[in-house]
């Protein structure tokens, strides 16, 4: 079984604007880069191939972002991947998961058959990772934003695919608010 990882990465300087009250632009950039490197490293340790959305950087394979936001970028990437010799499973990861562990990636990669894996955020409403079976989920429509976990489950239902929820601290703890920064402590420390 082949497994690819797709990481939703924003262009440098565009991430974590909700942290502007506590981190300078330089610190936010350093945080985003540290988390991205961590997520890419974990994915590369498990996946047969790892790709990023957005601008080419760091020598990583990238699928161009057509513009219009996260959902169009991911749908474009999925269609591109599914069009030519697709993997058996595509794991889609947020780039801001500082506690992501190899065992989290293994769980997402090893979901059986025509089943979509959904890893919700710490609140249980957002989505931090998806595991999509291909070609069954080649027409999957992404619904990131408020309430995305339920909307991704409905999308699996629309495609007549099973859906399972995958929970772990490494998958649940993304960095959105200043109170979340403690979870990134081992990767990043703001300047004094």
Domains and CATH numbers, the chain: 3-184 (3.90.550.10)
Could you tell me if 40 and 60 are in contact, meaning their C-beta atoms sit under 8 angstroms apart? yes
**Res 61 pLDDT > 70:** yes
What pLDDT score does 176 carry? 86
Half-sphere exposure of 137 (CA within 13 A, CB side): 32
What pLDDT score does 192 carry? 41
Q: How far apart are the first and last CA of the chain?
A: 47
Number of helices followed by number of strands (H, E) in the chain: 5, 7
**Res 15 pLDDT > 90:** no
Per DSSP, the three-state class of 22 is: coil
122-149 per-position pLDDT tens digit: 999 999 999 999 999 999 999 999 999 9
**Res 17 pLDDT > 80:** no
What pLDDT score does 185 carry? 84
Query: Averaged over 161-184, what is the pLDDT?
Result: 93
Query: Averaged over 154-180, what is the pLDDT?
Result: 95
Query: Averaged over 62-70, what is the pLDDT?
Result: 87
100-110 per-position pLDDT tens digit: 999 999 999 99
Q: Which residue has the higher pLDDT, 168 or 20?
A: 168
What pLDDT score does 56 carry? 64
**Res 12 pLDDT > 90:** no
Provide the mean pLDDT of the chain: 91
Could you tell me if 130 and 116 are in contact, meaning their C-beta atoms sit under 8 angstroms apart? yes
**Res 20 pLDDT > 90:** no
Per DSSP, the three-state class of 115 is: strand
């Amino acid at each position: 079984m082949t497994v690819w990882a797709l990481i939703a990465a924003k262009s440098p300087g565009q991430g974590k604007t909700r942290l502007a009250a506590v981190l300078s632009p330089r610190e936010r950039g350093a945080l985003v880069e540290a988390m991205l490197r961590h997520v890419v490293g974990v994915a590369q340790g498990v996946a047969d191939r790892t790709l990023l959305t957005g601008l080419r950087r760091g020598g990583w394979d990238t699928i161009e972002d057509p513009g219009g936001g996260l959902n169009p970028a991911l749908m474009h990437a999925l269609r591109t991947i599914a069009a030519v010799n697709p993997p058996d499973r595509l794991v889609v990861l947020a780039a801001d998961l500082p506690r992501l562990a190899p065992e989290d990636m293994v769980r997402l990669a090893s979901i059986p058959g025509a089943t979509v894996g959904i890893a919700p955020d710490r609140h249980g409403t957002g989505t931090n990772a998806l595991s999509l079976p291909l070609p069954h989920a080649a027409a999957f429509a992404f619904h990131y934003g408020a309430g995305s976990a339920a909307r991704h489950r409905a999308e699996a239902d629309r495609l007549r695919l099973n859906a399972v929820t995958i929970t772990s601290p490494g998958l649940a703890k993304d960095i959105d608010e200043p109170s979340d920064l403690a979870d990134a402590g081992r990767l990043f420390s703001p300047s004094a």
